[in-house]
Structure 1
Amino acid sequence: MSSPTSRALLVLPYLRIQNANAISSPLTHGFSSITAFIGLMWALQRKLATQGIPLQLLQVGVICHDYEEQVVDGHVKTFRLTRNPVDKDGSTAAIVEEGRIHLKITLVFLLKQASLPDGSTALLIQDNQSALDEWARKLGDTVATMRVAGGTVLPGQPRPGQRTRPWMAVLPEDAEAQAQCFARWRRQWLPGYALVGRDDLLASRLTHLRERQPQATVLDAWLHAARFNHEAGAVEPASEEVGPSRPGVRWADPLRGKGSGWTVPIPVGYARLTAEPVQAGLVANARDARTPVSFVESVYSLAEWISPHRLDRVQDLLWRAETDAQKGLYRCHSGYARSDAQRLDEVMPDFD
């Protein structure tokens, strides 16, 4: 059976990306920004249109299996930079700092069937697995020719077991059946960690700071959560840590205790700096002279790396892009939600 609301998952497992962008924003580095994968989704959507594949990509999820940031270890890590060829006059070319990282990731796309002419038969159905397999193969071949977060896709390595190549599956419309399917699929993405949004942690951190500093801002909370904040006596020392030669005071971060999770600061989009976009053609050297241009700065939040087997729903894994033209906010939202989560707008109403 099919319906206009049928959804499917496209999974591109264990992609090897070489030299992806490791500078995700002016304030963060490491794993590539989630906006880069949203951009990949849109670029892939345009290629689908040229190939005549009637599918529409809606959301994307990222699972990281391995990474190797190209840095030189030391007291302060520095990027491994490349020497550019000499200039036309033979002089030494300037070095432009760039951060690179090698990744092994699995990409998960949520998609639906695009509009079909009247009288056409729906193709995104469970009984049409041969067509799904063919689409998955074509999409996998297409992504292999594209840039992923600025990096190059390397040829895949043979792996034992099932689901080692691109595959598609229609999501059951029944919530219980969908949860059962997802419980089976998520085991294929182990070992690895999925990146999920945690705006609620930023909200709780802001509430915590305002108990001591009533004038604390969201930026203060984000910076506070992005580092370790050790305090003396914040955590009770274990019995073996107390002795005649030990004062019995333990230094620790009270907000990063056992079970607090692997949280990281990330950029989640952009905010427009002007009241309205600049008219098309008025900004020199713009990429597209037919599209209005906006000058923006990065928008930041918190995220968490979670093992896929700890996710209960497909939506927990996925990110979507949303635009608020009135506020000039272009940001990515995660489908991950906790019942005990505190919303950021509850403590900062003018922040979206």
Structure 2
Amino acid sequence: MIGEVKKLLVIPHIQVHNANALSSPFTIGFPAMTAWLGAVHALQRQLNNQQIGVLFNAVGVISHDIDLQTYKGENDYVHSIVGTGNPLDKTGARSAFIEEARCHLDVSLVIEFDNVSVDERTLLIEQVTHLLHSKMKIASGDIKRFNTPICMNVTQGDDSELKKLQRHLMPGYALIERRDLMIDAMNEGQDALQALIDFTSIHYSCESNDTDNTDKVQWFRHSKQVNGSSTGWIVPIATGFYGISDLAPAKNQRDPDTLHRFAESLVTLGEFKMPHRVDSVEALLWRYYTQDDYYLCQQSQFATPEPCDSGNEFE
């Protein structure tokens, strides 16, 4: 809405060590959106426990650097996960080895907040800084350092305020939802999984050079085109869960007061896009949504289910 003022908490350049890179059962790389919104919701709960009534309504994620912990040796065809040496168990035997994909990250978070007055913003920044240094993890990774958080207002339609925000986020890549590419492909009759593979795969072709009568060939790299142009940096992203069982108690569950259910990951397409190419703050932000058995993190342009106020329904 033009003229709407968004109150934003920007936490620049958070360096996360050993974040969970296994974002879904069949994707590895940037952590799932549920990890980012979950970390911000956990931060809100810690602040609420300290009598700071802040509400975090939406989150934007900007990636500055990612170091996926994989290894590819000489003559290897695929990359291998760099595992950890776990300690011996109580019997002195080596623990069962379960591959855990990890990555080191440098990210900035843009958090839309409410219920905090201008006079309370200094206290909010102080407590956020303290909690990030002492109690918080992000995507199961340890927070090593981050720049001083900033509170700022950005008015929808005000280019000068938007550019001020963008300067804090550059250079980097904002993660934007591109479910529209999946919808268009499926409307044309394509299978969902095949559409996802087509948009994220890279193809190589070669042409021989017959002019000099040699065996040399020239290789070309290309990816799927959309409307005659490259789609940019398209990646598969995990954006939520779909319940596949009824709500019921489970034996030995960690929280005895909350009902349990089995769920499957939801995966769609996203695009890493430089912030200066984003024309509004809302285009950066992800929110919680629910509908029937779906629990989603999505952006407002795809918002068909009912939004959650702060994610409290899923504690």
TM-score (norm 2): 0.84
Q: Tell me by how many angstroms 1:180 deviates.
A: 2.5
Counterpart residue identity of residue 59, structure 1: A
The one-character-per-residue Cα deviations of 1:283-337 (angstroms, maximum 9, x if unpaired) are 1122322122221101111000001111111111110010112xx0111112468
Is the alpha carbon distance of 1:286 and 1:258 closer, same or farther for their aligned partners in structure 2, counting shifts above 3 Å? Answer: same
Q: Secondary structure at the match of 2:202?
A: coil
Which entry has the higher C-alpha Rg, 1 or 2? 1
- Give, in whole Å, the separation in 1 of the partners of 2:109 and 2:217: 50
Whether 2:240 is the aligned partner of 1:269: answer yes
Whether 2:141 is the aligned partner of 1:151: answer yes
Q: Secondary structure at the match of 2:83?
A: coil
- Give, in whole Å, the separation in 1 of the partners of 2:113 and 2:6: 6
Ranges in structure 1 where 5+ consecutive residues have no aligned partner:
114-122, 157-163, 338-342, 345-352
Whether 2:167 is the aligned partner of 1:196: answer no
Ranges in structure 2 where 5+ consecutive residues have no aligned partner:
305-315
Whether 2:122 is the aligned partner of 1:133: answer yes
Q: Tell me by how many angstroms 1:227 deviates.
A: 1.6
- CA RMSD, Structure 1 to Structure 2 (Å): 2.9
Whether 2:252 is the aligned partner of 1:278: answer no
Counterpart residue identity of residue 289, structure 1: P
* 2:290 match: 323
Conserved 8 A contact 2:198-2:224: no
- Which one of 283, 297, 301 corresponds to residue 332 of structure 1? 297
Counterpart residue identity of residue 133, structure 1: T
* 1:260 match: 231
Q: Tell me by how many angstroms 1:169 deviates.
A: 1.6
* 1:24 match: 23
- Give, in whole Å, the separation in 2 of the partners of 1:265 and 1:254: 14
- Which one of 222, 225, 239 corresponds to residue 196 of structure 2? 222
The one-character-per-residue Cα deviations of 1:20-79 (angstroms, maximum 9, x if unpaired) are 001111010011111101111211121121111121000111111111111112421111
Q: Tell me by how many angstroms 1:14 deviates.
A: 0.7
* 1:55 match: 54
Counterpart residue identity of residue 198, structure 1: R
Counterpart residue identity of residue 63, structure 1: I
Is the alpha carbon distance of 1:268 and 1:254 closer, same or farther for their aligned partners in structure 2, counting shifts above 3 Å? Answer: closer
Whether 2:288 is the aligned partner of 1:288: answer no
- Give, in whole Å, the separation in 1 of the partners of 2:21 and 2:221: 32
- Number of aligned pairs? 294
- Give, in whole Å, the separation in 2 of the partners of 1:193 and 1:97: 28
Conserved 8 A contact 1:189-1:308: yes
Conserved 8 A contact 2:196-2:268: yes
Q: Tell me by how many angstroms 1:243 deviates.
A: 5.3
Conserved 8 A contact 1:196-1:336: no
Q: Tell me by how many angstroms 1:204 deviates.
A: 2.8
The one-character-per-residue Cα deviations of 1:220-245 (angstroms, maximum 9, x if unpaired) are 2123223235679xxxx9xxx89576
* 1:64 match: 63
* 2:151 match: 168
- Give, in whole Å, the separation in 2 of the partners of 1:150 and 1:247: 46
TM-score (norm 1): 0.75
Conserved 8 A contact 1:273-1:295: yes
The one-character-per-residue Cα deviations of 1:144-188 (angstroms, maximum 9, x if unpaired) are 3301000001134xxxxxxx410112343xx333x4311111012
- Give, in whole Å, the separation in 2 of the partners of 1:261 and 1:21: 25
- Give, in whole Å, the separation in 2 of the partners of 1:186 and 1:291: 41
Structure with greater proportional strand content: 2
Identical aligned pairs, as a percentage? Answer: 31
